[in-house]
Every structure is written in structure tokens, then in C-alpha cells.
Structure 1
Amino acid sequence: MFVIYNLVLVKNRFLLFFVVFTAMTNAQSFRNYSNEFLNIGVDAAALGMSKAVVATTNNVNSTYWNPAGLVGIEDYQGSLMHASYFAGIANYNHAAFAMPINKESALGISVIRFGVDDILNTTELIDNDGNIDFNRISLFSAADYAFNVSYARNLIFKDVKFGVNAKVVRRIIGDFASSWGFGFDAGIQFERNNWHFGLMVRDITTTFNTWAINETEFDKIKNAIPGQNQELPETTELTKPKIQLGVAKEWRIGRFFNLLSEVNLNVRFEQTNDIFSSELGSIDPAIGFQLDYDRLVYLRLGVGNFQYQTEFDNSKNLTLQPNFGLGFNYRGIQVDYALTNIGSVGNALFSNIFSITFDYSFFRR
């Protein structure tokens, strides 16, 4: 029985070790996958279009997709979204608020939380004398937070909009480690004759994260893999800039129907498995469609995340991620649904995502 308990203890210590180190290793340089929770996306309407909204986003959720779009709001707006991933193990939440300052500018704020809660901490299950005490098991959370403040305004020409985000990133892994980060995003939108163009640069100045590690707690798990990783991980992360380019077109179909289509190019300055990739960078396209009936009911389709997946025989197959969405807008309240996932390929499970957006301008009529 004692051998079984020891196996359980080693397993849980390994899991704790994995949670901590996946968040903090390979720092002191540009990270390819730092702050990845900020790439998931918000708003079921946008996710249903495979995130192809950089050129057309024009409501409170522009605080995430392209802050330039905030100029399109006319009154107070709010937005809420919740999603569960990995069979409910991880929870992803987003809340945002935006308001016009005047006819030329707008302000927005938002918060994102992505977390895994109630993780078992078994580092003290067995004391120094070999006694097992289940009362010594505790729970902890590994959670990532992002706080955004956005500002947008029209430039000299009324068809050109500019916006900027200032973001603070807070990451907490129980009592083991925590970090603070800070960075900026900037975006531009241009509209002419039902054509829309957008440019979004994320982490434009790079996003800087600094970790504080609790050495006492670290000592309890560093031997999860005997003889490996005995030193504290580095404590600094710098996230590379990323660029999103978008072009969209609107069509009027008959008296009541409207069709919106948009193509985005997501550019990263690294070699990846994206469909277009080189040593200089990679490009992952995304295509989205939205058909609406008199701005009341919406049907959305999208495809993105084009990746080359290496098989066991070293051959490569092109994979992609389809997305589907529905929306309903009535009396200033818009409810949206998307069937999507967080951007994984292969056998990743799709999630049902819901969001709601409030527009106070309706109630002033």
C-alpha cells in the first residue's frame, strides 16, 4: 500500500512540476508561446467567423480585436463571455465596457481570465517520517489575467480610425510563482465603398513579463523528475510582436439580407507549421462569412488555423479548423453562439461558446 501511495505522490508532484515549468521555462529571450492565453480570442460572434474580424469589428469587443473599431460605438456598451475547455477543467471568461468620449473618439476597458482551479497540491501528503495524512492535501489555482485599457479616435480623414491598447498581464500559479507583465497593441481601420481594411499589431513594443518564484514551494517539487531541472527557471519573458491584416466586403442581398465576408492574414515572425512559413516568418490565413436577416438574426461560418501536421511516417498533411456560429439581436441585446475550439488541430474537442453584448443606445430611443 505504501508503494501505491508513493506512486500517487510522485505522479502528482510531476503534474505540479509540469504546471509550474510550462509557464516559466526558456525565458530571458523572446518567447514563441508566451502569454498564449491572449491569442484565444473573445466574443462568440468573432469566433464563429474564425477570428476574421480585424477589419470590421466595431463594438465593445474591439478592445480585443482592433481598438480602432471602438470609434463605431454610439453609446455605452458591455460584453460578457464564458467558455469551458478540456471537459470543464479550464475556464475562460471575458468582460468589457466601452463608451464614446465624443463623436471622434472612444474609450474601452476589458478583463480576461483563463484559469485551472482546484488543482491538488500533494507536496505535503507524506511527512519526513513517512506518515501519510490526506488532511495535508490542499488546492490551488493556475490563472492568467489580462487587463486592457483602450483608446480610439478618427484621424484627419473620417474614414481612417486609429486605436491603441495598454495591457497589464497578471499570472499566478498558486503559491509557487506569479508574474506581472506590460505591453501595447495598436490598430488601424479604413473604410471606403463597403470595403473595409484593418491592421492590428499585437505586442507592438514586445510584452515584458517578470516572474517571482517562491523558492520554498519550488524545493518541494523540483525533484519530481530525479536529477533534472534542479535550478530555478529564468524569470523574464519577452513576447514577440504579431501582425494581423484584414480586408472585408459587404453586400446587400435583396431587401432584408446582408452578407459580410472577411479574410485575415495572421503573421508571426518565426518559422512554424503554418501553411506559409519560412525563416523570416509565417502566415496563417483565416476566412469568415456572416449572413444576417435585417440585422436581427445572424449565421456565421469560418475556417482558419491552416497547419501542416507531421505524421508518424514523417509525411505532412494540411489540417484546418472549421467554425460555426449563430446570433440574435433584439432591443439592444445581442446573444451569440459559436462552435469552435481554442485553436488546436487534430483531435482537440470543440467547445460551445456563448457571449452577450449590451448596447445602451437602444434604450435612449
Structure 2
Amino acid sequence: MKRILTIVLLTISITVSAQTLRKYSNEFMNIGVDAAALGMANAVTAYSNDVNSGYWNPAGLVNLEDNQLALMHSSYFANIANYDYLAFAMPLDNRSAVGISLIRFAVDDILNTTQLIDAEGNINYDRISLFSTADYGVTFSYARKLPIPGFNYGINAKVIRRVIGKFASSWGFGLDAAIQFETRNEWKIGLMARDITTTFNAWAIDKDEFATVQNAVENQNQELPESTELTIPKLQFGVAKKFIYRHDFSILTELDLNIRFEQNNDIISTSIASINPAFGFEVGYIDMIYLRGGVGNFQNELQIDNSEKIGFQPSIGVGFKYSGIQVDYAFTDIGDQSVALYSNVFSLKLDFSIFR
């Protein structure tokens, strides 16, 4: 039974990943990076101003005063899948900056039992091998200040690589564009347009390797041609404000609207677009200790009695910063309000000013 289940799951994963012109691809690029941002329910589009801006809003990279490095690790689905992130950014001059980041989302050490039983029905456990299914995203970012005071813009060029063992792989390419604006009374506004050109993933299937799966499961003899996935454009709009209280305390608040050009289960959904709000806050003490919280991912969930209920995903987090080193922690999906499993997320940020 375990052998059959493994083979069936493998068949389904490859088949689902290879449907022609799928609209929902590269979802691993939407999970989010940086425990500080995840603790605020990803509501950081307007205020993002460090090395992680390459992901959230590349226009924020112009706020860098020195080189920065960021690391993050988290596990999903009861530690089955691992999500790792590495980023580096540096200012070019007082008006521009660049950055590069790498994301890997993978399930490793999957048992390949397609060769367990030979043509004569003999079982040989030595023929069991391991493989991984992994998604990689490399992002190159550039940001620059506009001649208009308070206006910054940024662009991302993304390269996507997805691999399912020896069975299938794909390459994808896409672009993001973003702006940030700060008003005279220190309100910040951000707009992030993801996959503005529609990101394409071209899949290549190793038919010889996939034939081992088809032969291992009865009635699985369909052809699986090369195919293409699409990642449709998305918009993220945010408004943020930071308040200072008695010099020692700061309160950062931000409201984001995540917009997809489709009809789905978002709390606001039409035939043209759907809108999903997210709200996050951060309370800081002497710019060293931080407490964060947020709520987002509002969904209209259909119940057993055909009634609808609004589901949401809350988050909390804490952070500590000292002398250019910042460590953050986030706990997402508290109380299992959504269908996703909760996750513990840790991240580290290093400002190279510490070496000066």
C-alpha cells in the first residue's frame, strides 16, 4: 500500500505540474521572506527599506546605507518541505542600489519505489532510490531615486528553475516593477506589480524516466507532452506610517491590498479582480526590541451546510537588533484559522556597517 501510494503521488505531482497553460504556477514565490515581514502578515509593501526589499518592493533598496546580507529558514507541512532564502544588497551611490536573492523550496529524500519490483515480480529493496522535488527562484534587483522628491522605483528580473527528480524540469523568466513614495508628513505609499510580463515556465519531461512511473501503476499509460505554465500579474498596494512615542517607543502600522486579476475566494472578489487585505504592526523599543503582529489571507470559506464563513490567517513575531545584527522570529497561522499548517520562521540580517 505504501509503495502504491508513493507512486500515485508521484504521478499526480508530475501530471499537475505539467498541465498546459496553467495559471497557478510558481506559488512558492508568493510565500514570503523575512520573519519580520511574516510576523506582520506580509504587510510591508510600503515600508520595506532593507535587503529584503528585493522581494517585497525593490524600490526600498535605495534606503540602504551599507551592504546587507539576509538569511531565512522555515519548514512547512509538518517539516516535510523546507524553505530557504539568501539575499545580498548594496548601494551603488546615494541614488541607486542593487540586490540579488535566492529562494529554494523543496521536499528532499522522496522514496522512488518504481523499480522495487521487476518484470518477474521479484522484490529488491536495493533498487529503491531517493530524489527531490525543488523550486528555485533567483531575483536580480535594481532601485533608483527619481528626480521627484520622495519617489523611488525598482525593478526585478527573475529566473525560475523547477525540478522533479529526473522526471521533469522547467525554466521560467519574469519581471516585477515597483514604486515607493513618502509624503512630507512621513506617510509611505508602495505599489508592487509582480510578473508584469506574465512569467512563463517551459516544462521538459523525460519520457523514459516517466515511463517507469506509468509502468509501475496500472492504467497510467497516457502521453505527457512538454507544456507551459503561466504566472499571471498581481498587484500589492500598501500605505504605512511610523509613529514615535516618548523617543523610546515606535509604532509602525501598514495596510496592504493584494490584488489578483481573477475571481476567487478572496473576501472581495469580482469577475475582473479580487482583493485580499492584510494589516500589520510593529512596536519597537529603543530601536532594539520589536513585537509584531498582523492578520491577512481573508477567504470566504464554504461550510458543510453551504453557508459561508470568513477565514483569516493571523501572525505574531519578535525581533532583536544590536550593532548591525538583527534576529527575527515569526509564528504564522495561529490557531489554524486557515487550511495551511502553522510554521515557525527564523531569519537573520547582517548590516556590513558592523565591520567599520
TM-score under structure 2 normalisation?
0.96
**Offset of 1:223 from its aligned partner?**
5.9
Are the counterparts in 1 of residues 133 and 164 from structure 2 also a CA contact under 8 Å? yes
Are the counterparts in 2 of residues 52 and 286 from structure 1 also a CA contact under 8 Å? yes
The reply to whether residue 262 of structure 1 matches residue 254 of structure 2 is yes
Instruction: State the aligned residue count.
Output: 354
Matching residue of 1:53:
44
C-alpha distance in 1, partners of 2:324/2:225?
Answer: 49
The reply to whether residue 300 of structure 1 matches residue 315 of structure 2 is no
The amino acid that maps onto 2:293 is L
User: Where does the alignment leave 5 or more consecutive residues of structure 1 unmatched?
Assistant: 1-6
Query: Among 67, 72, 75, which residue is 2:66 paired with?
Result: 75
Matching residue of 2:18:
24
Query: Among 163, 182, 200, which residue is 1:172 paired with?
Result: 163
The reply to whether residue 139 of structure 1 matches residue 126 of structure 2 is no
3-state SS, counterpart of residue 10 of structure 2: helix
Matching residue of 1:290:
282
C-alpha distance in 1, partners of 2:54/2:163?
Answer: 23
C-alpha distance in 2, partners of 1:8/1:119?
Answer: 13
The reply to whether residue 10 of structure 1 matches residue 1 of structure 2 is no
The amino acid that maps onto 2:98 is L
1:63-117 CA-partner distances (Å, limit 9, x unpaired)? 1000000000011100000001112110000000000000000010000000000
**Offset of 1:43 from its aligned partner?**
0.1
The alpha-carbon distance between structure 1 residues 32 and 316, as it changes in their structure 2 partners (threshold 3 A), is farther
C-alpha distance in 2, partners of 1:223/1:283?
Answer: 45
C-alpha distance in 2, partners of 1:306/1:185?
Answer: 24
Matching residue of 1:3:
none
C-alpha distance in 2, partners of 1:88/1:128?
Answer: 36
C-alpha distance in 2, partners of 1:9/1:62?
Answer: 44
Are the counterparts in 1 of residues 262 and 270 from structure 2 also a CA contact under 8 Å? yes
The amino acid that maps onto 2:42 is K
Query: Among 87, 99, 105, which residue is 1:114 paired with?
Result: 105
Pick which of 307-316 and 99-108 moved more.
307-316
Are the counterparts in 1 of residues 69 and 89 from structure 2 also a CA contact under 8 Å? yes
C-alpha distance in 1, partners of 2:10/2:117?
Answer: 16
3-state SS, counterpart of residue 135 of structure 1: helix
Query: Among 348, 351, 361, which residue is 2:353 paired with?
Result: 361
The alpha-carbon distance between structure 1 residues 275 and 152, as it changes in their structure 2 partners (threshold 3 A), is same
| Percent of aligned pairs sharing the same letter | 58
The amino acid that maps onto 1:236 is T
Pick which of 225-234 and 36-45 moved more.
225-234
The reply to whether residue 62 of structure 1 matches residue 57 of structure 2 is no
The reply to whether residue 101 of structure 1 matches residue 74 of structure 2 is no
Pick which of 215-224 and 155-164 moved more.
215-224
Query: Among 56, 70, 78, which residue is 1:87 paired with?
Result: 78
The amino acid that maps onto 1:291 is V
C-alpha distance in 1, partners of 2:311/2:216?
Answer: 36
Residue correspondence of structure 1 range 193-208 to structure 2 within 5 A: 193-208=185-200
Segments ≥4 residues shifted beyond 4 Å: 223-226
1:322-351 CA-partner distances (Å, limit 9, x unpaired)? 100101000100000000159x85353211
C-alpha distance in 2, partners of 1:314/1:120?
Answer: 40
Matching residue of 1:4:
none
The alpha-carbon distance between structure 1 residues 220 and 326, as it changes in their structure 2 partners (threshold 3 A), is same
Are the counterparts in 2 of residues 62 and 69 from structure 1 also a CA contact under 8 Å? yes
C-alpha distance in 2, partners of 1:9/1:285?
Answer: 43
C-alpha distance in 2, partners of 1:222/1:191?
Answer: 57
The alpha-carbon distance between structure 1 residues 126 and 227, as it changes in their structure 2 partners (threshold 3 A), is closer
**Offset of 1:8 from its aligned partner?**
3.6
**Offset of 1:220 from its aligned partner?**
1.9
**Offset of 1:179 from its aligned partner?**
0.4
C-alpha distance in 1, partners of 2:249/2:256?
Answer: 23
Are the counterparts in 2 of residues 223 and 230 from structure 1 also a CA contact under 8 Å? no
TM-score under structure 1 normalisation?
0.94
3-state SS, counterpart of residue 102 of structure 1: coil
The alpha-carbon distance between structure 1 residues 259 and 52, as it changes in their structure 2 partners (threshold 3 A), is same
**Offset of 1:9 from its aligned partner?**
3.1
3-state SS, counterpart of residue 204 of structure 1: coil
User: Where does the alignment leave 5 or more consecutive residues of structure 2 unmatched?
Assistant: none
RMSD value, Cα:
1.6
Query: Among 137, 140, 155, which residue is 1:149 paired with?
Result: 140
Matching residue of 2:227:
235
